[in-house]
Chains A and B, each alone.
Chain A
């Protein structure tokens, strides 16, 4: 019968650990590989940022310059020219995202918590609109816009961006609503909550982080959208992607200016994406992956 009532200090003086050393060096090797890959993949972005701070003369050289005296000249140029473009982008993105949430929350509710009879058909209808190429209808879309005097209007973009993001948002918000524990809803029901109270009092507070993720994804897609803006706007509603296209002149040096414009145009989405990394997966997979 053995018994230990008093703790015994482990032996001092560790034995040699060949296995530990091998483990450690493989871990370090792995880390090095990952860093190399990460930096290599990130290189074009790095180059873009670097070039943005160059004076034009230093941006088009051979060999390409890694050291130079940085200047904010190109950025200043960008900021002096971006006014209307960024305004249109902000308005189109913000309003369309808001509309998406206003339309999407009730629709997701009707497809998840108290589902309509043919909810599967409804869901697939929405996703099918995402699969149909908007490019195919651009001609007649142009004609319609012309005839309804919506051509080159910010409202046209808002309307189209809302339609573009709505299916995605519905799938996403639905996936969040499905996570609300049924017991909470039943308890609310017992407490006398009607549908409106159920949504506003129980569901919305719980899924609010999910709504934020959904909004972020909508912002990303609306902000980056080029095709519709290109074809349906000229000056009165031109957005940031158009600004970028216009920063490539017919002749003359432009690489630094382009890079600065590219950086400025991309910063909002990059920041949003860095902060909301986890939501990215969920949004892009339409709610399939949590």
Chain B
């Protein structure tokens, strides 16, 4: 059993500086692929290193299995780590790199060779590569050796620190799915750090969003997308990002582009209780449905109860199957990005009308960023 627990784990670097990781409470289930995602400085790498034993804890504890490993050195935690720059041993061959931990553990030479070959096969590493030094390998090959080095150990937990960030875009997409598939096959608990929310969404069973050393939300990718708990998560998850606009409150709703978008009563109550005159409205690009001049929809779908927003097209990003429209909304002048359903024949300078369903709109506190009424 290898679940991982962060219990109120903290790491502070300087006396009066804000903590790098602040009282993190996170449970990773056995066999789960947990992604820690956030911008740089969010504390995700620090948290991973605390789990690895490469950073000491200034508060709280870390558990692997049912064991408190807070003061246990890395080599006794039964973990394996893939580093961002791979950290391969330059003077050793690929086989020696992968077998190093086993050698340290006193595993016999033949057994080592067998396990190394097995791992190499799993990762599609050619036999002839085994005798080369890292210098002679391509970036993708090095990345696989780094993974192989971790796999060979059959640890309780895999730790991965942005292992894809040094690969070119195409290789990254390819390797992403390979890693996810590998983890499903091996069923080893994995904690994976990345700044790329696409990686987080596509690879993780659950995703933990961190910012400024604090855990913002941990949930399945779908739930994070549909139910962000605050403005940060809402704006971080999803590409292109959710449109976030500060808008004034009006009777029954919020005022934007010359219309009043109705807000659910719970939201209005929360707003008035907090004495708010304005709030942050969040609308995902795909929820701005393009309508033609007469208000009819160009796409499909039932949009009962939707409201109209008009604006002027500033820029069109052609994606092939669909497009992103950069629009300046009427009256308020807010800039939004909308994703079209299929092709539309619009050009910059033209007027465009959107229909938005009130239930697709998120409302956030303009100061704290907290979601108003979840």
Contacts and interface: CB of A to CB of B under 8 A. Distances in A.
Interface residues of B, number: 26
B143 interface: no
Given A8-B22, A10-B22, A11-B8, A3 B59 contact: no
B59 to A, nearest CB: 4
Interface residues of A, number: 16
Interface string B193-219: 000000000000000000000111111
Contacts of B216: 3-5
Nearest to B25: A2
B60 interface: yes
A7 interface: yes
B60 A2 contact: no
Contact of A5 (B10, B60, B223, B369): B369
Given A3-B217, A4-B214, A5-B230, A10 B10 contact: yes
Contact of B71 (A1, A5, A11, A19): A19
Interface in B56-74: 56, 58-61, 71
Given A10-B60, A11-B60, A14-B59, A1 B368 contact: no
Contacts of A7: 22-23, 214
Contact of B59 (A1, A2, A11, A20): A11
Contacts, number: 53
Nearest to A12: B59
Interface string A1-31: 1111101111100110111100000000000
B219 A1 contact: yes
A2 B370 contact: no
Given A8-B23, A17-B71, A3 B230 contact: yes
Contact of B227 (A1, A15, A19): A1
B19 interface: yes
Contacts of A15: 61
A24 to B, nearest CB: 11
A8 B230 CA distance: 17
B252 to A, nearest CB: 27
B217 A2 contact: yes
Given A11-B59, A19-B56, A1 B19 contact: no
Nearest to A19: B71
Contacts of B59: 10-11, 14
B214 A20 contact: no
Interface centre among B10, B25, B59, B223 (most CB of A within 10 A): B59
B229 interface: yes
A219 B10 CA distance: 54
Given A8-B23, A11-B60, A14-B59, A3 B229 contact: yes
Nearest to A4: B215
A243 B124 CA distance: 73
A19 B61 CA distance: 14
Interface in B1-25: 8, 10, 12, 19, 22-23, 25
Interface of A: 1-5, 7-11, 14-15, 17-20
**CB-CB nearest 3 A-B residue pairs:** A3-B229, A10-B59, A10-B10
7 contacts: A1-B223, A2-B217, A3-B217, A4-B215, A5-B229, A7-B214, A11-B8
Given A10-B19, A18-B71, A20-B56, 15 more contacts: A1-B229, A2-B25, A2-B217, A3-B217, A4-B215, A5-B230, A8-B23, A10-B22, A10-B23, A10-B59, A10-B60, A14-B58, A14-B59, A15-B61, A17-B71
